[in-house]
Structure 1
Amino acid sequence: KPGPIAIKDVADIYLYPNTLQAVRVTGAQVREWLERSAGIFNRIDPAKTEEQPLINGAFPAFNYDVIDGVTYRIDVTLPSRYGLAGKLAEPN
């Protein structure tokens, strides 16, 4: 149901022993967060006819996040803005 939620409530359903934090972010920061997460996808060449793997197995899957309540698209025909280590690789 909609309403306030406490960090302890979220921690109860969080399976991993990591530190759980709530953060306030701007729209621009959310976009960059999603750009970083999109690094899990390989670049797909629409001109190729052979099968191309969508998921980059070298990407640390724990860095892939989905943000609920935000509508967005990932264009897998464009290069990833971030490399596997999380460094900005493609500034535009």
Structure 2
Amino acid sequence: MHVLLLKGWHLNALQRPAALHFCFTAQHVDVVPGLIADVKAALALLAKDPGGLGAQGSAPLYGSAGVSPDWGLIGEFLVAYQDAVLAP
């Protein structure tokens, strides 16, 4: 995932099972071939060194909200996370 992020792709990591979430619209038609090529390249790197890429990436957040007793804290975290990810 980190390799894709460095190439400018912002995908959603899922867990249990580990996966990437893709959402496409008609506006994405032109970039799909580049995404496919970059995913193949990332998978080739992962096949060479399965443990190497994970240390540089980020952990999926799905499911973490269900274990917190403080829903206000979850909201604050999500706002801070979006600010960090979407900052120019």
The TM-score bracket by the shorter chain reads under 0.3
- Determine which structure has greater relative contact order: mean sequence separation of CA pairs < 8 Å that are 6+ residues apart, divided by chain length: 2
More helix by share: 2
Structure-2-length-normalised TM-score? 0.26
More strand by share: 2
Structure-1-length-normalised TM-score? 0.25
